[in-house]
Chains A and B, each alone.
Chain A
Amino acid sequence: MSTHIADGAADAHEQLGHSEAGVHQAHAGEKAADWVDGRLGIYGLAKANLRKIFPDHWSFMLGEICLYSFIIIILTGVYLTLFFQPSMAEVVYHGSYTPLDGISMSEAYKSALDISFEVRGGLLIRQIHHWAAIVFVAAMLVHMMRVFFTGAFRKPREINWLFGFLLLFLGMFDGFMGYSLPDDLLSGTGIRFMEGAILSVPIVGSYIAMFLYGGPFPGDDIIPRFYTIHVLLIPGIMLGLLVAHLILVFYHKHTQFAGPGRTEKNVVGMPLMPVYMAKAGGFFFLVFGVIAFVSAIASVNPIWAYGPYRPDQVSTDAQPDWYMGFSEGLIRIMPGWEIRAWGHTLELGVFIPLVVFGGVMMVIAAYPFLEGWVTGDKREHHILDRPRNAPIRTAFGVAWIAEYIILLVAGGNDLFATHFHMSIDTITWACRILFFVGPVIAFTVTKRWCIGLQRKDRDKLLHGRESGTIKRLPHGEFVEVHVQLPQEERYRLTAHEQYAPVELPAEVDENGVKRKVKALDKLRAKLSQGYYGEAAQIPKPTAEEHAEITSGHGHH
């Protein structure tokens, strides 16, 4: 450097990197940042992101709960691996939990008992791990609902929707494998169920079962194999998806609700540093703290109470973790159905629920593409919808949730029977009927409800809100004075867009030749009519309508 400076100070200054140029003013932190920037070029990234603007709404923190519970699961999971033995070798228990003294069990179960009773704080970490998993899947589902009902999945965020869907799907399965690992009586029953489900797959079922379990059920391999999948394979994939999910959130910039000054072309909110670093960073500790507290006072999966797994034993009230409950419901309400022909058995009573399970999940994944196709809309959307302004979407989502809840109830039909003193056959039959009828009712009610709310909005926009002031007119009539909504509110309630339904071209063209309209186009026009036709949305008031009514001095 000294030679450069000798050549000419101005010239040398040009060539100096900031790491050297700033040396006089820089304190230690800046020097360290310069060191990193000289090697990674982080300042470009920091410039774009340190003061990145995030909009504020309570529902935007649902995704944060997912992220934080995932981190909690990883932290506690690593701790558990230090003590857990994923082995199905049989040992005899002589630990400090006296009721199981002298009982033979797998090493996996014994080490899970040891974590609960010998390792100080082991039970707490186990319970935090399990509670966090329960919260994780619940938060993902609710976060997904938020994204769904506000239309946040629309262009350009469809791919991020798919990433989120995959995270939900993988999270459910990793949860299932996680609670299967202790090899207790309850989880072993879940693994046995999985074998039965796999066996029902036509042609390849028994091969997959033999390969997965390493021989006839239960074998010695399933716990170690689940362990590798549970702690390495699936979390690894999920971590990748999670990072991609977050990068896309940053890249797309967050969506926002309509409001004064908020448009499709901007994002209004507060900067990442310092507000969201403190709020979001602090929120991690809040989530962790609450889950730790819950784990202190509420027992989850008390494996010592179930005993070790034996394929010929079972407890009543056997229930999976809640997020597997809807698949359990599918299995329980399906009537027995087996087709035997040509020396083969098609176990439809198990296989159909398996397929429907996939279908119920896939519908979520596919929805953004269906709606994008119906609207034909190729523009970006960053302003969120209010659920009422997309009645069909909202109704569809609520129908899905209704189906999910019905299946959850069906999955716990034995508990409902014992707790409410009802016949289990009646509950099962009710769930069978509701499986088909429930979503239809939910759809219809929600759609009507949304349209009713749209009418209410329109009424408020045109006539204003009720002021509570009663005015007596000169001829004796009493009227309630209505007050116009403030400008901000009027804008907020009308900021949404209303599509016109797609129409098919005329049946004959200008030369009188019959036009061929593809079946797919007809379907699209029909769906579009259902989505945006007269029966599905109330037109927003126009400025003229507003002028006409307000010019009459406030009363109709």
Chain B
Amino acid sequence: MTSQDNMSEEHLPEAVGPHGGAVAVHDDPFADPGLPPHEPRRTDIDERAAARAERQVARWFILSMIATVGFIASYVAIKPSNGDGTTGVIYIFTLGHISALNFALGTTLGISLFGIGAGAVHWARTLMSDEEHIAERHPIESTPEVRAQVFADFRQGAAESGFGRRKLIRNTMIGAMAMLPLSAIVLFRDLGPLPEKKLDTTDWSAGKQLINMNTNEPLQPSDITVGSLTFAMPPGLNPDDPNADPTFQEVIATSALLLVRMEPSDIKDAKSASWGYDGILAFSKICTHVGCPISLYEQQTHHVLCPCHQSTFDLSDGGRVIFGPAGHPLPQLQITVNADGNLAAVRDFTQPVGPGFWERS
């Protein structure tokens, strides 16, 4: 407070007084000359110009009416488009092939709205008075008398309530009011389960076969050629039949895999190579940044790029982050080949997949 009290006043510019325009202009070259006299428009003095403006306004309103009729006619007459381009699609120059119904409804609605707006604005600009008026402002803050009265009323009310004097009432009331919201907070507990270990595990476990995402068949090492990128999922899921497994979305959100194969000599990380099978490596498809699925593979460098935020991982070096905002490497799933010759998991991921979180060790 003191800083403002002792610093402010003399550094403020002069308060601007009310100017009525009667200021002695000769003394002060920068004085307010006051509101200039009103200049009439053509429509103010020429009745024919005014009548012309009236007809222009009416034309806008009539255009709007016609467009509304057009809207209803389009709604009734035009078939909706179906997506394969066989019905309801028209070619509009510069726009290409678009839905005829949407185009007709949108343009007619647009014109019927715009017509009302243009008519009203044109009316206001040409025919309504454009003479400027002056209204006085009044200070927002109350007069000292009102202020004093309010404070006195408040003090009287506070004194009569005994709020300040009866400490027991005051303290218990504050306590009750402070505790009450706890009930509301408690009510939100059943919004969802506790995290527990839910973020730590996936659907993978020892012996689960790797299922090709495209064919729904188990993958064999020979299915995966050097330089290719294959997506895999745990068995028992059917993306085409959601009733088969209602938890499909949750399972795939953690357990989606990307499989690559490289020459074993290209693999820089020895542990990573030993977790694969004959150069086939299985990594989590879920980006360790914020959980987007990673899908862009550069086979020459063995880099994968997340299309969402461009985190880039080197799959030949244990999924290490080489660029972008991700904080830790892509988790690798240890795989082997089972008795049927199919690729299978040795165990679940040894660390949580996806983005980092507080409990992640």
Contacts and interface: CB of A to CB of B under 8 A. Distances in A.
B120 interface: yes
Given A121-B101, A275-B128, A413-B310, A215 B198 contact: yes
Contacts of B308: 189, 193, 314, 318
Contact of B83 (A97, A332, A487): A97
Contacts of B112: 289
A334 interface: yes
B195 A296 contact: no
B250 interface: yes
B181 interface: no
Given A120-B80, A210-B195, A347-B355, A193 B328 contact: no
B253 A312 contact: yes
Interface string B96-112: 00110111111101111
Given A216-B253, A335-B324, A344-B360, 6 more contacts: A265-B136, A268-B134, A311-B252, A311-B291, A500-B13, A520-B3
Nearest to A206: B195
Interface stretch (A30-38, A173-181, A256-264): A256-264
B357 A104 contact: no
A543 B133 contact: no
Interface string A284-303: 11111111110111010000
A456 B321 CA distance: 55
A438 interface: no
A104 to B, nearest CB: 4
Contacts of A205: 357-358
A202 B358 contact: yes
Interface in B241-278: 241-243, 246, 248-250, 252-254, 256
Given A98-B83, A214-B192, A487-B33, A296 B103 contact: yes
A156 B140 contact: yes
B32 interface: yes
Interface of B: 3-4, 6-8, 10-16, 18-19, 21, 25, 27-36, 75, 80-84, 92, 95, 98-99, 101-107, 109-121, 123-125, 128-137, 139-141, 188, 191-195, 198-199, 213, 231, 233, 239-243, 246, 248-250, 252-254, 256, 285-286, 289-293, 295-296, 307-311, 321, 323-328, 354-361
Contact of B290 (A195, A269, A377, A424): A195
20 contacts: A193-B292, A199-B356, A200-B290, A219-B192, A263-B16, A267-B137, A268-B35, A285-B113, A297-B95, A297-B98, A314-B292, A314-B308, A318-B307, A332-B310, A336-B311, A336-B327, A345-B357, A491-B32, A502-B8, A546-B29
Interface string A523-556: 0110000000000000011010011001000000
A260 B25 CA distance: 12
Contacts of B326: 336, 349
Contact of B13 (A311, A488, A499): A499
Nearest to A99: B83
A275 B133 CA distance: 12
A260 B240 contact: no
Contacts of A494: 30
A379 interface: yes
Contacts, number: 421
Nearest to B76: A120
B16 A264 contact: yes
A293 B102 CA distance: 10
A256 B105 CA distance: 41
A8 interface: no
A253 B310 contact: no
B191 A279 contact: no
B188 A278 contact: no
B191 A211 contact: yes
Contacts of A315: 307
B110 to A, nearest CB: 3
Contacts of A335: 324-325
B186 to A, nearest CB: 13
B124 A260 contact: no
Contacts of B231: 312
A199 B355 contact: yes
Nearest to A194: B290
A336 B325 contact: yes
Given A263-B16, A282-B124, A292-B109, A491 B31 contact: yes
Contact of B106 (A253, A295, A314, A498): A295
A226 B130 CA distance: 48
A215 B101 contact: no
Given A195-B290, A312-B253, A200 B356 contact: yes
A547 B133 contact: no
Contact of B102 (A102, A123, A212, A501): A123
